[in-house]
Amino acid sequence: MKTISELVRHKPWLGWVLFLATLLLVFLVGLFGSSIIERRQEAALRFQLLKPIAEWEPRNEKWGENFPREYETYRQTLDTTFKSKYGGSVMRDLLKESPYTVILWAGYSFSRDYNQARGHYYAIKDIRSTLRTAVPQPATCWSCKSTDVPRLMNGMGVAEFYRKPWDSLGSEITNNIGCQDCHDPKTLDLRITRPALIEAFQRQGNDIRQATHQEMRSLVCAQCHVEYYFKGKKENYLTFPWDNGFTVEAMEAYYDHYQHYDFIHQLSRTPILKAQHPDYEVYRTGIHAERGVSCSDCHMPYRSEGGVKFTDHKIQSPLNNIANSCQVCHRESEKTLMQNVNDRQDKIQELKHQAEEILAISHIEAKFAWDNGATEEQMQPVLSLIRKAQWRWDWVAAANAVGFHSPLEAARVLGASINLAQQARMEIVRILATHGITTSVPLPDISSKEKAQQYIGLPMENLRKEKQDFLKNVVPLWDEAARLRQAKLPD
């Protein structure tokens, strides 16, 4: 067998091939090594702060000086152009889309105004603008709207923050949801800044500090995307009703134990539980939670840029980013995945509308029963059934994603809502019969938001004018006071 030197001596061109191949190999190895060093340097520099960040720094742009990739993607929550079949970042008038809900919230501020939430960048603007804050509210309502909240809670104390009137902190709450809410400014580790979540876990006997990083990628969202209530008429202490568990029945049992209700219904006189946005609780019953998928995996997927892996902070519907969200795990086409989501949401939406219609009618029929001599004793079972039915409907309706976080559980709960509401209506028929009424209850025309609001007596023109005066005369004073205060903060 010939040696390499013998082959080269007989075929000189082979020497040039070996020389060039060696040269190319050395070049590629050097390039690979250089790339590794460069990427390691980038990763190291990523956590080297160009400017120190104060412990309670609320200004997102100051964090952005150190973390431009995250900040620039966060600023993209300004985009309100994406509209999916049932959600997206656009402003959607949910009362207009489902006028029955005006009746369901008769006597409560949600009957005035209820829009789909836009991106986090609009948190403060939207809470200032909604007609719901024309009603006196506690400062607790600011809890999930701003990075100023941890600063204020640290300065004045948590309980004192909750006790203050909402409008008394208008000039202090100016920075939208952002970096401070979820990150430690020294280590950038995820952290919990809202005490209600920590306290809820403590009452369950769990230490949230033992949570894994993957669990924290959901828990930072669970600081706000949860069911909650304000405990105590004066204290207004933000509390999560999780002591018995996370299911709709477990939280209902908690509320029943404390005899809590959010408002007395204007028509039926039912003590109603108003669900907030139990996204975390619904998610926990779904397949994604079972498989260990976090909220951030879908709504804030990882990205790579210049060899640096970072989290996309354009918090949005995964349907606007299917390739980086859904297709990391699912190998179907974008069109197929979109259709899968729509198919499930279509079915939940159908059940939701059925529950809304039956509940609205049950409130109207209950009012008719009261007006025709029904007694407290007779109506008590009816009110209990309506309360249970509306709580179950709202548990699904108030959560984002039209049940997609857990379609099976959402369908089960809505089915129970429909059944309970029908039972209430049958009980009303029996009560009316005892008072000699066997004809159908006359139903008003509530086919539009405007007609439903008129039926329950809302002076919408006056309410809108009052809000416009507030935005014109009060909010500019808040903004100027905030500008002067922030100008004194260190750079």
**Per-residue model confidence (pLDDT) at position 322:** 96
Residues 418-466: pLDDT tens digits?
A: 999 999 999 999 999 999 999 999 999 999 999 999 999 999 999 999 9
pLDDT digits (tens, 9 = 90+) for 220-238: 999 999 999 999 999 999 9
pLDDT on residue 308: 86
Mean pLDDT of 20-44: 58
Write the secondary structure of the chain as one string of H (helix), E (strand) and C (coil). Answer: CCCHHHHHHHCHHHHHHHHHHHHHHHHHHHHHHHHHHHHHHHHHHHCCCCCCCCCCCCCHHHHHCCCHHHHHHHHHHHCCCCECCCCECCCCEHHHHCCHHHHHCCCCHHHCCCECCCCHHHHHHHHHHCHHHHCCCEHHHHCCCECHHHHHHHHHCHHHHHHCEHHHHCCCCCCECCHHHHECCCCCCECCCCHHHHHHHHHCCCCHHHCCHHHHHHHHHHCCCCCCEEECCCCCEEECCCCCCCCHHHHHHHHHHCCCCCEECCCCCCEECCCCCCHHHHHHCCHHHHCCCCHHHHHCCEEEECCEEEECCCCCCHHHCCCCCHHHCCCCCHHHHHHHHHHHHHHHHHHHHHHHHHHHHHHHHHHHHHHCCCCHHHHHHHHHHHHHHHHHHHHHHCCCCCCCCCHHHHHHHHHHHHHHHHHHHHHHHHHHHHCCCCCCCCCCCCCCHHHHHHHCCCCHHHHHHHHHHHHHHCHHHHHHHHHHHHHCCCC
Same domain, 221 and 314: yes
Q: Is the pLDDT of residue 16 over 70?
A: no
Cα–Cα distance for residue pair 378/70, rounded to 1 Å? 59
CATH value at residue 155: 1.10.1130.10
CA angle 22/24/30 to nearest 5° reads: 105
Band of the pLDDT at 21, cuts 50, 70, 90? low
Confidence of residue 32 (pLDDT cuts 50, 70, 90): low
- Please provide the average confidence, as pLDDT, over all residues in the chain: 92
In which residue are the tokens 């010939």 written? 2
pLDDT for 282-296, tens place per residue? Answer: 999 999 999 999 999
Verify that 11 and 70 share a domain, yes or no.
no
Indicate whether 423 belongs to any domain.
no
Q: What mean pLDDT do residues 28-50 have?
A: 56
Both 38 and 91 in one domain: the answer is no
- Rounded to whole angstroms, how far apart are CA atoms 197 and 207? 11
Domain shared by 36 and 131, yes or no? no
Full residue range of the structural domain in which residue 293 is found: 62-333+455-487
Q: Tens of pLDDT along 332-391?
A: 999 999 999 999 999 999 999 999 999 999 999 999 999 999 999 999 999 999 999 999
pLDDT band at 50 (very low <50, low <70, confident <90, very high): confident
Is 119's pLDDT higher than 80?
Answer: yes
Residue 448 lies in a domain: no
User: Do residues 147 and 175 share a domain?
Assistant: yes
What average pLDDT does this structure show over 112-129?
Answer: 94
Q: What whole-number distance in Å separates Cα of residue 299 and Cα of residue 134?
A: 32
Examine residue 396 and state whether it is found in any structural domain, yes or no.
no
Mean pLDDT of 20-32: 67
Whether residues 101 and 26 fall in one domain: no
Of 41-45, 111-115, 346-350, 370-374, the range with the lowest mean pLDDT is: 41-45
Lowest mean pLDDT among 19-23, 314-318, 359-363, 396-400: 19-23
Same domain? For 28 and 175 the reply is no
Residue 393 has pLDDT above 60, yes or no: yes
Same domain for 21 and 66, yes or no, is no
For residues 220 and 189, the answer to whether their CB atoms sit within 8 Å is no
Task: For the chain, give the percent of residues with pLDDT over 90.
Answer: 85
Tokens of 156: 């004045």
Say yes or no: 224 and 321 in one domain.
yes
Domain count, the chain: 2
Q: 165 φ, ψ to 5°?
A: -65, 150
Burial of 205 (0-12, 13-18, 19+ CB in 10 A): exposed
> Is 95 in the same domain as 215?
yes
Query: Are 39 and 127 in a shared domain?
Result: no
Is residue 318 in some structural domain?
yes
Identify residue 279 by its one-letter amino acid code.
D
Residue 17 domain-assigned (yes or no): yes
In a domain, 406, yes or no: no
pLDDT value of position 344: 97
Contact criterion met (CB below 8 Å) for 187 and 491: no
Same domain, 34 and 140: no
Residue 431 included in any domain: no
Say yes or no to pLDDT of 36 above 90: no
Determine, yes or no, domain membership for 341. Answer: no
Give me the residue label for tokens 């964090």: 63
